[in-house]
Structure 1
Amino acid sequence: MRSWNLLRNKILMGPERKSIHIDKANKTITAYHESAMPSLLITRKMRCPSIRPRSCPGPTLGHVSMLPENDRWSETRSAAAGSDGRQYGCRVAEELIFGDDYITTEPPVILMVQPIIAKMMVTRFGMSDKLGVMTYGDVTKQSPETQAAIEQEVRVLLKDSYERAKNLLKTYSKEHKELADALLAHETLDAKDIKLVLEGKSLEH
């Protein structure tokens, strides 16, 4: 299992480049960035992921891995909308901890993926209270008014998700800091480590 994990990490993040020095400021940003999602999930009694923030050098600074407890064939409205805050957790963490001027380029994937999910919720899955339980097919063929309404609903969903993440990280700021500090000290945490940290217990790495 350990060999499989090492291979997976190498594929996902590239080989470690231990000769490269990463300064403390970047390590700190990475630690808070990567610990945001796990702190939100575990404090809300959801499945705990393993996190590998890679304060150690490599092509990517960090990565969060999470496997579902069971096979999943669909997503609930709550999960798609990001009710647990995980979708924007990394971005919000940078904003709350370091300020608007120090938001990094690290979370672009969420900024690309979450709008797509929100749009599918509105146009394909009938999950918009305003537009109703129906699908809209090719949005470009809809009337300008309908297109504008769809765009507005997508923006509302994204804003709600972002604000939810912000409120949750404020609520669990203590747990977030504890995880970030542990990541700075140990560089890699698995699910067991995360639970120990949040229980106030020491880690033996």
Structure 2
Amino acid sequence: KITVDLPDFKGRARILGVHARGKPLEPDVDLEAIARRTPGFSGAQLENLMNEAAISSARAGKSTIGWEQIDGAVDRIMVGLEKKGGTANLALKQNELVAYHEAGHAICGALIPDYDQVQKISIVPRSNGAGGLTFFAPQESRLESGMYSKQYLESQLAVALGGRLAEELVFGEDFVTTGASNDIQQVANIAKRMVKEWGMSKDVGLVALQTPDSGGPFMGREMGTPRTKWGSRIMGTVDAEVERLVNNSYLTAKKILSENRDLLDHLAKVLVEQEVVSAEEFQMMLVEFGSKTIQYEVVGEERNREKLPFQGMPAAASL
């Protein structure tokens, strides 16, 4: 089996240059800017991007390819086609809920240190089932190295919970929706791996409870330790540590959105009105509401006395 690495920034720019031949671009379309927007894209996806943009331009009766066509092609490759009718087929209340959910993700991502940049926020439903999406541009160095710090992973947890927190703050706990199901699954998976695979818990320590070949709990089999003995000694601590990580991130997201409620309301309102908010528009909002320089860090080890939604959560092994 031959493994081909994904192209880096310079590689993507060169590949885009090859596939842009014979395709007239508008003067403001820069191949390097497209390359910066497409970390993680393969050569085949970049070829598809340029072809999709050319087809979209032709359908619009244009002789050149503009940013509108490029953006549309990137979105289709990443998350599928827009559903016909966009948000017009949805009730206003549903649009508002999706708008607040996505605004929660975006604001948490923007106000946590050293997190990925918000690229675009959209409430347009997609063919893959997504009701809305917040696009983040991952840092090139993280993608290339495949290495993620504990701080970054904790930030991921908080950003993923931002959508659910926004629903809760605005509509109340009794009116949260299933829209956060994928977010909650992502949070559970990351928190479990931090504790069980990556040694990111002081209480559990540098112990691997998963092995690449088994695909399941290690439980001491390779060391001759009885499975039940290992489980009773450590798995209770694992559960508590997963719960702690998730709850700390929940509190971080809640603090950010509670203290920036005006920004949350404004961003959601604009999303309902125009469906999509660009990175540039979002940055202007952060400046307008005085939020750009506010930076939060994921809260510390001590358990907050506040009642938390993930207390007594299921065992980490079965999340």
Q: TM-score range by the shorter chain?
A: 0.7 to 0.9
- Does structure 2 retain, via aligned residues, the 8 Å contact 1:53–1:188? yes
- Does structure 2 retain, via aligned residues, the 8 Å contact 1:178–1:198? no
1:7-51 C-alpha deviation (Å, 9 max, x unpaired): 343351433311852111011111101111211232446523311
Against the structure 1 CA distance between its residues 64 and 199, is the aligned structure 2 distance closer, same or farther, given a 3 Å change threshold? same
Written as runs of structure 1 = structure 2, the 5 A alignment for 1:161-180 is 161-180=249-268
- Does structure 2 retain, via aligned residues, the 8 Å contact 1:91–1:103? yes
Distance 2:190 2:126 in 1: 32
- After the TM superposition, which of the residue ranges 170-179 and 91-100 deviates more from structure 2? 170-179
Tell me which residue corresponds to 1:61: 131
Shift of 1:190: 1.3
- After the TM superposition, which of the residue ranges 134-143 and 144-153 deviates more from structure 2? 134-143
Q: What letter is aligned with 1:2?
A: E
Q: How many residues align?
A: 200
Tell me which residue corresponds to 1:113: 186
- Does structure 1 retain, via aligned residues, the 8 Å contact 2:105–2:162? yes
The one of 76, 93, 106 equivalent to 1:25 is 93
Written as runs of structure 1 = structure 2, the 5 A alignment for 1:53-202 is 53-54=123-124, 59-72=129-142, 73=145, 74-82=147-155, 85-137=158-210, 138-140=217-219, 141=227, 142-200=230-288
Tell me which residue corresponds to 1:5: 71
Distance 1:10 1:139 in 2: 40
List gaps (5 residues or longer) in structure 2. 1-66, 211-216, 220-226, 290-319
Tell me which residue corresponds to 1:14: 81
Distance 1:198 1:62 in 2: 21
List gaps (5 residues or longer) in structure 1. none
- Does structure 2 retain, via aligned residues, the 8 Å contact 1:126–1:133? yes
Distance 1:78 1:10 in 2: 31
Aligned with 1:85: secondary structure?
helix
Against the structure 1 CA distance between its residues 175 and 128, is the aligned structure 2 distance closer, same or farther, given a 3 Å change threshold? same
Distance 1:113 1:49 in 2: 20
Please provide the CA RMSD for this pair.
2.4
Query: Which structure has the higher relative contact order (CA within 8 Å, separation 6+)?
Result: 1
Against the structure 1 CA distance between its residues 60 and 164, is the aligned structure 2 distance closer, same or farther, given a 3 Å change threshold? same
Against the structure 1 CA distance between its residues 116 and 67, is the aligned structure 2 distance closer, same or farther, given a 3 Å change threshold? same
Shift of 1:181: 1.4
Highest CA radius of gyration, 1 or 2?
Answer: 2
Q: What letter is aligned with 1:14?
A: L
State the TM-score, normalized to the length of structure 2.
0.57
- After the TM superposition, which of the residue ranges 19-28 and 181-190 deviates more from structure 2? 19-28
Shift of 1:84: 7.6
State the TM-score, normalized to the length of structure 1.
0.86
